[in-house]
Chains A and B, each alone.
Chain A
Amino acid sequence: MSALPVAPPAASAETEPGPLALARTVASRIATTCLVELQKLRHDRTELVTRAVQPALWLLVFGQVFTRIRAIPTGSTPYLDFLAPGILAQSALFIAIFYGIQIIWERDAGVLAKLLVTPTPRIALVGAKAFAAGVRAVAQAVVVLVLALILGVHLATNPLKIIALVAALLLGSAFFCCLSITIAGLVLSRDRLMGIGQAITMPLFFASNALYPVQLMPGWLQVVNHINPLSYEVEALRGLLVGTSARLLLDFGVLLVSAIVMIVIASALLPRLARG
């Protein structure tokens, strides 16, 4: 038997960590989770492909048909160009919502307990999950964007815009991932979460500007659209990718604040999830 590591002389942190140590831990845990997420993606590349089927269908069928029949007026922008960022946001949304289901699975399998017993503050654990969802969304976005290019969508290639696009995806995914974890923390069971997950993702998607311009919506839907973070994500993605008008400062502001608020709420509910 080879040498097992023996306990260090003194446990480093005897007191609860201060804000600086907390920030360091959060950063370190995010890096770790990000790495693990990439390892998982490397082991299961088929997932990138299977998850690309749905966005591909939206672009190919819905996008092509509606471009041809010109049912949705999008001004000088071809409908397919208009749609591509919306589908990008949709695929990120579906990935992020899945994280709530995953965390319940992790709870049932004892994985969550093991993670919670490590010296990792709850907020770091949730923050790391949120970031992981973003990493997956970005990986998925590459596939969707390549597809869009093949279909002839005119996409921006300015590196600054690409960086901003990645940021928008990360923030949006963080929000929806933590929304899903929050619901998981409230309903505590996978079956109930799956039901609720479906009951909210579709409305979130249809009550957003992903498929049609805001101006076409009836008044009440415009109101919903205003409080739907997905719409701000789509607006930012669309502005960056195809150059439609976007209130980028407002979009990023809303995404950032809603992501932070949701991370805090989800962290507060995590112990409840572990207890259940």
Chain B
Amino acid sequence: MTPALRCVGLRMKFGDTVAVDGLDLEVERGEVFGLLGPNGAGKTTTIRMITTLLPAPPGAIQVLGRDVARQRTAVRRLIGYVPQQLSADGTLTGRENVALFARLYDVPRVGRADQVAAVLDAMDLTEVADRPSKTYSGGMVRRLELAQALVSAPQLLILDEPTVGLDPVARDGVWDKIASIRAATGMTVLVTTHAMQEADEHCERVALMHRGRIRAQGSPDELKDALGPGTTLDDVFRHHTGNALIGDNENGGMRDVRAARRTARRVG
């Protein structure tokens, strides 16, 4: 069986900045896979290439056996995507937000309303579904975005920093939902984060990314055990990046501050 996702020698440059620098990655079907790395590691750029937002050369990325460069529309039908920013339309209600994506993914009219209601319910949003989403908390917006991504029944769910900017309770809520989605549908989940602790708890396999490259790959336990007892994923990360501290990247800083502010504005 072909893997859910395969990237071979992926590269992306912005001017002089090499954002992704020869990335190889394979995500098996049905697993929750974490792409970890500090600000500016190239996680979002990688995701944007996988989701067809940035161009990738033929042969570099395959989603469930389809080449992203050649079968773009087919790939788009297979993936559900939640970007790093909180991005629901505040003037629409939760239900309208989800129904919009049901239509954009050509969910058949017969049964569409039921499908929208089902994903809203699965994300615990039934009670607030008819309120404008600008009245939602950050955690609720994230769950709404999960509902939007799920309504087309994707086979690969891609979440870019789904817990960034959320309080601990909302974070757990999001991870709970990711786990239950996987249990209910068996879909593959690719999630990026810079929270090593969260990845350790919730991902079956992880890849550590630094300056555009994968430095280590495996289950969190494998990676930690290799370094000896009592180590954390943070230690593993430092070990593989020559003691780079999280957040040590020269490029990430300002952009992340801007993104965080933007998120704060949208949530607040």
Interface residues of A (CB under 8 A from B): 1-8, 11-17, 28-29, 32, 35-36, 39-40, 43-44, 108-111, 113-120, 274-275
Contacts and interface: CB of A to CB of B under 8 A. Distances in A.
Contacts of A114: 81-83, 87, 101, 148
B119 A4 contact: yes
Nearest to B100: A36
Given A108-B262, A117-B51, A7 B83 contact: no
Contacts, number: 121
A11 B121 CA distance: 25
A68 B241 CA distance: 79
Given A114-B83, A117-B52, A118-B76, 16 more contacts: A3-B118, A3-B184, A4-B153, A4-B184, A5-B152, A7-B187, A11-B77, A14-B74, A29-B104, A32-B100, A36-B100, A43-B91, A114-B148, A118-B101, A118-B104, A275-B53
B150 A4 contact: yes
Nearest to B70: A16
Task: Label chain A's interface by main secondary structure.
Answer: loop
16 contacts: A5-B115, A5-B152, A7-B155, A12-B77, A15-B71, A32-B100, A35-B103, A36-B92, A43-B92, A43-B132, A109-B87, A110-B83, A110-B87, A117-B81, A118-B101, A275-B54
Contacts of A6: 153, 185-186
B48 A113 contact: yes
B256 interface: no
A32 B150 CA distance: 19
A109 B92 contact: no
A8 B154 CA distance: 9
Contacts of B262: 108-109
Nearest to A12: B77
B52 A111 contact: no
B249 interface: no
B87 A1 contact: no
A16 B66 CA distance: 12
B73 A16 contact: yes
A11 B119 CA distance: 20
B122 interface: yes
Contacts of B105: 118-119
Contacts of A111: 87, 89
A53 B126 CA distance: 38
Nearest to A118: B104
Contacts of B48: 113
A114 B98 CA distance: 12
Interface in B62-105: 66, 71-74, 76-79, 81-87, 89, 91-93, 96, 100-101, 103-105
